[in-house]
Amino acid sequence: MSEKPYDRDAAVKYARQWALRRNPEYSAFDKLGGDCTNFASQCVFSGAGVMNFTPDVGWFYQSFRQRSAPWSGVTYLYQFLTNNNGPGPFGRNLPLFMAQPGDILQLNLDGKKFEHSVVVVEVGDPPSPETVKVAAHSEDTDGKKLSEYEYQSFRLIHIDGVRA
């Protein structure tokens, strides 16, 4: 299996294109708990170009009924990206000052669990909640400062690369 770079520009371009609307090639999960992680996965896929079809633990989307839990579930996406040793994107949890466009931030809104995924589209210098801007679904937004969210904590999933 070979490794290739994650195309951050493609991920951000996709995020900007679809942040305020829905891509008809994918089901929307707005009425099923939110569309945020589905949107984040679409962005990551645009930058990765490789899915992982491993049963139970993979990361893929073929249709609403044929998709993996990590494609649309906050915790499952985190587990996939930070533990993936197979095909597809892989990453790790890093501090915010190491954020890059195309990375994923997950927010703990209620102090109990991480429940919202957003895509980093811009990183200021130095990276901080005031200078990191994101795109997201559920509450559709493009270019929103991380500091504008009411969260208890966040975690950054830095995408290191892609295995094919």
Reply yes or no on whether the pLDDT at 31 is more than 90.
no
For residue 32, the model assigns a pLDDT of 86
> How many Å apart are CA 119 and CA 67, to the nearest integer?
20
Per-domain residue ranges of the chain: 3-20+29-163
Q: List for the chain the helix, strand, coil content (%; round to 5).
A: 30, 30, 40
Q: What is the pLDDT of residues 59-83, one digit of tens each?
A: 999 999 999 999 999 999 999 999 9
Query: In sequence order, what are the beta bridge partners of 61?
Result: 67
**Average of per-residue pLDDT across 94-119:** 97
Tokens of 110: 């209620």
Is it the case that residue 55 has pLDDT exceeding 90? no
- Which amino acid, 39? F
Beta strand residue intervals within the chain, DSSP E: 3-4, 88-94, 104-108, 114-123, 132-136, 141-145, 153-163
pLDDT of 46 over the 90 cut = yes
Largest CA distance in the chain: 42
Question: What does the pLDDT read at residue 149?
Answer: 97
pLDDT tens profile 128-153: 999 999 999 999 999 999 999 999 99
In the predicted model, is pLDDT for residue 33 greater than 90?
Answer: no
